[in-house]
Copies of this chain bind each other. A is one copy, B any other.
Amino acid sequence: MREVYVIGAGMHPFGRYPDKELPDLAGPAVQAALADAGLTWRQVQMTYCGHVRGGTTAAQTALAPLGYTGAPVINCENACAAGSTAFYLAALAVGAGQCDVALVLGMEKMTRGMVPTAAGGDMARLMGLNPLPGKYAMIARRYMHDHGCSAADFAMVSVKSHGNGVHNPYAQYRHACTVEEVLASRQVCDPLTLLQCCPTSDGAAAVVLAARRPALASPQRPLVRVRATVLVSQFHVPGDPFDVSEMTARAAQQAYATASCGPEDLDAVELHDCFTSAEVIHVESLGLCAHGEGTRLAATGRNGRGGRVAVSPSGGLLSRGHPLGATGVAQVAELVWQLRGQAGGRQVEGARLGLTHTVGGGGGGACAVHILERAGSARGR
């Protein structure tokens, strides 16, 4: 496999855009990513697009205003991991030499109200386990029981992430909040309050992958290289309890092995914090802290921008927003900016190695983990 570089990143700010359609969201993101890469749309040899609710050949329709270049376009879907799956496919195509320049687009225009999902099956739905807030509230309750922490400990995750989002011009919500405000916000599913749940969002993000070092690379603009890209689904033995951490832990282990690094080498992590309780279990599954210490990471500031590893420096799904298919690509874009030192007020100083993580879907579902590196770094080798 050849080395794969991320040479461009762009986003349409996440938010609610009742007057915009997918081409209005995707177009600016793609054009920003291409401009950042110093390329034109005609130089893109393949496009991989992640979305969940865009409909038939939504990527082709969204990209039509840019012109019909003849290059193949592939729509892929894996629920909340759709954008990450598109990145996974594109990295393979570039790495394998199928193309030299690939565009990865993630986009979503969400409806108002609850998001119907395939997760859990009919019995679970009848029991109120679907939609997802119920699932993650139960995870929080069980975690509180097992590890003796409080609702306020979960709220700290939201405080940390919203504090980061303040500095992200692409974030849907750019306001800091206190633990008291988080706990006092509207109850969604006890113990999860509104500020502990990701919002309903529209948005798009795009990155450009290439096999060659771009001409734009310079000491002021370091290269970002893909060190690992992993996709898994759930492993489960019938009759055993369903382990909500299994996919994440296994995908992370595979990614660390591929990249010859460990969680201790990471500077920045963009993970799937769809709820505060999700972040707590994911930081543990990714190996960023010991089992049972997930809430303490936020409480002690160890996952802040000045801590040992910055978790969701973008503001994460909680603050940046979560337009399903766009999220995985936005995570990569954020890491590109962090690793280049272009993240402005939310910059993680000296960031050299970063990881993205998404999970999604019913049945066996999907979990994707990517590791990106500021090229030239000797760290994590």
List the interface of chain A (C-beta within 8 A of B).
Answer: 1, 52, 55-64, 67-79, 85, 89, 92-93, 95-96, 98, 117-118, 231-236, 238, 246-247, 250, 360-366
Contact = CB atoms under 8 A, between A and B. Distances in A.
21 contacts: A1-B96, A56-B77, A57-B77, A57-B78, A60-B118, A60-B362, A60-B365, A61-B118, A62-B363, A63-B364, A70-B247, A72-B366, A73-B233, A74-B89, A75-B76, A75-B78, A76-B76, A76-B77, A77-B77, A92-B92, A92-B93
B118 A55 contact: yes
A68 B364 CA distance: 6
Contact of A72 (B71, B117, B231): B231
Contacts of A93: 92
Given A79-B57, A118-B58, A118-B61, A250 B70 contact: yes
A219 to B, nearest CB: 33
What is the predominant secondary structure among interface residues of chain A facing chain B? mixed
Contacts of A366: 57, 60, 72-74
A250 B72 CA distance: 12
A233 B70 contact: yes
B70 A232 contact: yes
Contacts of A233: 60, 68-73
Contacts of A250: 70
Contacts of A361: 56-57, 60
